[in-house]
Chain A
Amino acid sequence: MARVAVEVVYRGIFQKNLAQRITRTIVFAAKKEGKVGTAFGRYGDSPERNGIPAKQFAVVADDELELEEHLAQYEPKDVDVTIAVDDTLCKGVESWAWYGLQPINKPTKAGGTLLVTSQQGRTDLIQDIHARSEPYSLGVVRGSVSFSGLWVYKEDHTDVRVLGALAKVCPELVSIESMEAAIRDQWDDNLKIASTRKSYERTETRVVEPGQGNPETPYSFVLPGWTEMEEALVVQGHGQGTGFRGAEPVGEFDPHHNQLGGAGYEPDRNQLFKKFSTRSMRPMVNFDTCIKCTLCWLHCPDSCFDVTPDGLYDANLEACCGCGVCDDVCPVPDCVVMVNEAEFNDNAGQWEFWQRDKEGYNQWMTGLVDQAKAEKRSHGFHHVGGYAEDIAEMEEVASDD
């Protein structure tokens, strides 16, 4: 080997410790084999927001000189392995620090590997991952996504299961023995060693052929030069918004009243930063049971609900970052429910579908809602002792199949 670079793509602050454990252990394991390495987070992503995609890296080389060669470029642009610790990241990542959607496999070398923690099968994942011209391998670490927490760390073994799988898909990085040794040094926990080995044995990869996967071209952005930028650090503010889907608003907007008219309302949306890649769950709205109480709309920190001409609230899925507050404030049972983002391949509005085919929509919605209830995806800390319960579930997942 010359040099091996691994990137961990994670969802901000609640997965920061997880990503750090993974990248640091890689370097410790490499050391066992007399190699040198470094682990670091991308400065541009810090301070991490929760949910918003961020990256950490581990770069390992045979000697200091070789390592230096590869660190001259601060952020590795071609990595041997990309690790996504949330499968919904496969839809692409938009860091809070830049513009444009980056395909999850963009930095992955031709012939490199993408390793994803997921309950989905590879076939489903490939539908989300952007197609590219060079082949790469896809591996899955079975398990629910772990938002393993900030102040309290959820010891659900996601870290070591990823590391075990890594030793399998990238043997030129480190052997499973070195990986286990490094894990023992840090945590001295036989159960973790067992999880590492189990994951190592279970992990398989499949080659994704050129052109295979999500055909869409992700939105991109070209940085303007100083002659094109406005002077004095000025950018233009947004417009006042329109009726639903760009319709003419009825009358002037009156800041004194909730003036809807018959046109509905849609705010002017930020076309440069969309934020949907932050989402790992999305709200499903039951328009039939909605009582128009306004609470989901009122309490959304991202102003993401468009108001339909009939006074319903339709989550704009280009803008929604999936925090789940709408689900929490809705007073009607199962009227707004957060469901697994992985089940979708687009950001189409729900209200239009419901208008077109109420029965079809409701059937689809009910299916997704039931599934979500079974899955119990979580975004983090719920209450003291809560992680223990999650971990029990995780271990079950790990033990079956």
Chain B
Amino acid sequence: MTTSPATQQQEREELISGSEAIAIACSMADVDTITAYPIRPYDTVMQYVSRLIANGDFDCEFIVAESEHSQFEIVKHASSVGARTFVGSSGVGWFYAFEAITVTAGLRLPVVAMVGNRALDDPGAFGTEHNDALAVRDLGWLLNWVATPQEAYDTCMMAWRIAEDSRVFLPCAISCDGAFLTHSQSLVKVPPQKMVDEFLPMYNRGNLVLHPDNPITVAPQVNEDWLMEMRKQTDEGMKRAKGVVEETHEEFRRIFGRGTESPWFEEYMTDDAEICFIGLGTMSLPLRVAVRRARDRGIKMGFIRLKWFRPFATEEVREALSRFQAVAVIDRDYSYGSPGNAGVLFNEVRSALYPLEKRPMLFPFICGLGGREIHQGDVVEMIDMVQQGLASGKMDQQTEWIGVRR
């Protein structure tokens, strides 16, 4: 970092990794409290954050906690007194913090977290896998996946605005594939501070803030007389989040002049496609190439990258996927013993499509676990299976593990 981002008045381009882009986003969003604890690959973001602070480019309470649990508890409480917060973790570190993670949503605290997707131990592995982040899917966390350092920066900005919206007040996790995003650099447009200030209002917790001038009691113990009503309130907040995501996405495009058309997914060559692949995060890179090569072979193929997992854009996904004869879901995760022994994404997509009159054929694939690359050959193999399946007309397709040795 040569120039202080806060003092930049012109948009500039930086060659940075996704982690560094997020660190810059933190400083430009004037985050108040950040907690760190080392675990690969997410920790790179905290290395950049600490450097920004050390160089006087970022004013923030930066606490190196003694565990992930404390890391998430500390920002939770900072958020309760009205501080904008950022935190993060990876793999089993994220799981070590899980108690704090689940109460943060229950308390309706808009903590923003980066998950540097990492395979879960044992055995210890550093590579990317989505089961860590996916574990919050039922807890009231907003959850999305980004594909590029630019999108990591942009999504961070949106994350605080959406999470801190009083209609929502829910924490948000930004999932970044380990290595592919956290450790790879690309050119990122860093906007001038005034643009950020125009887009991102201050976090105002209103009459829910913990302060001697607002003497409230937060989260007293309850019994069966109360809990269902509380769960319902969070459910409503999550439902409202959908509209807020769309609103915020539009506002972002207006002010910053970039971003996909749909807030929910990125479509690639889907217009006339018969076969569509769908997946999360950085797999879009090999898949876009694969789409082009398939089309060279005359196969009408497209790719959709789902950006938000929570809230899940049920209607939009249903509408988008209903156009295809076949939909192939690539899960970079597993859900042992789940319906069809498939991945998490597959089963969510399948249940979203169920009400359709004319459902596309669905093909569940598990690929690229533990950070294993998704090779072009893997995609070709998947395409062949999809074509055979289409020919067979068999609706119930087996889950296939691609690129696994026998």
B is a partner of A: yes
Given A236-B216, A237-B215, A237-B216, the answer on whether A231 and B225 have CB atoms closer than 8 Å is no
- Kindly state whether residue A235 has any CB partner on chain B within 8 Å: yes
Q: Is B232 close to A, CB under 8 A?
A: yes
Chain A residues with Cβ below 8 Å from B208 are 230-232, 234
Residue B229 at the A interface, CB < 8 A? yes
* Contact in complex: A229, B216 (CB < 8 Å): no
Interface size bracket, A side? 10 to 19
Query: Which residue in chain A gives the minimum CB-CB distance to B208?
Result: A232
Known: A226-B232, A229-B233. A235 touches B225 (CB 8 A): no
A98-B223, A232-B169 given; A226·B216 CB < 8 A? no
Q: Mark A295-332, 1 if CB is under 8 A from B, else 0.
A: 00000000000000000000000000000000000000
- A interface secondary structure, majority: loop
Interface size on B, residues (CB 8 A): 24
| A233 touching B215, Cβ below 8 Å | no
**How far is A229 from B232 in the complex, measured between Cα atoms in Å?**
11
Contact at B218–A97, with CB atoms within 8 Å?
A: no
CB distance from A269 to the nearest CB of B (A): 16
A223 touches B108 (CB 8 A): no
Give chain B nearest CB distance to A196 CB in angstroms: 37
Across the interface, do B218 and A234 meet the contact criterion of CB distance under 8 Å? Answer: yes
| Given A97-B223, A223-B225, A226-B232: A232 and B215 interface contact (C-beta under 8 Å) | no
> A225 vs B106: C-alpha distance in the bound complex, in angstroms?
18
Rounded to whole Å, the gap between the CB of B106 and the closest CB of chain A is: 7
| CB interface residues, A 70-123, toward B, < 8 Å | 97-98
Q: Would A232 and B229 count as touching, CB distance under 8 A?
A: no
State in angstroms the CA–CA spacing of A343 and B225 once bound together.
Answer: 35
A to B contact number (C-beta, < 8 Å):
53
B:214-234 near A, CB below 8 Å? 215-220, 223-226, 228-230, 232-233
A44, A97, A226, A234: the one contacting B229 at CB < 8 Å is A226
B215 touches A231 (CB 8 A): no
Q: Is the CB of A237 within 8 A of B225?
A: no
Residues of B within 8 A of A98 (CB): 223, 225
A236 contacts across to B, CB distance below 8 A: 215-217
B225 touches A233 (CB 8 A): no
**Contact residues in A for B236 (Cβ distance below 8 Å):** 226
List the A residue with the shortest CB-CB distance to B231.
A226
Query: A321–B154 Cα gap in the complex (Å)?
Result: 58
- Which residues of the partner chain A approach B109 to less than 8 Å between Cβ atoms? 232
Task: Evaluate contact between A237 and B217: CB separation under 8 angstroms.
Answer: yes
Q: B107 within 8 Å of A by Cβ?
A: yes
Rounded to whole Å, the gap between the CB of A225 and the closest CB of chain B is 6
Contact between A235 and B216 (Cβ–Cβ < 8 Å)? yes
Smallest beta-carbon distance A366→chain B, Å: 43
Ranked nearest first, the 8 interchain pairs of A and B with the lowest CB-CB distance are A237-B215, A226-B229, A232-B108, A233-B219, A226-B232, A232-B208, A234-B216, A235-B217
Cβ contacts A to B, 9 pairs, < 8 Å: A224-B229, A226-B236, A231-B108, A233-B108, A233-B220, A236-B215, A236-B216, A236-B217, A237-B215
Extra 4 A-B pairs, beta carbons < 8 Å, given A233-B107, A236-B217:
A223-B226, A233-B219, A234-B217, A237-B217
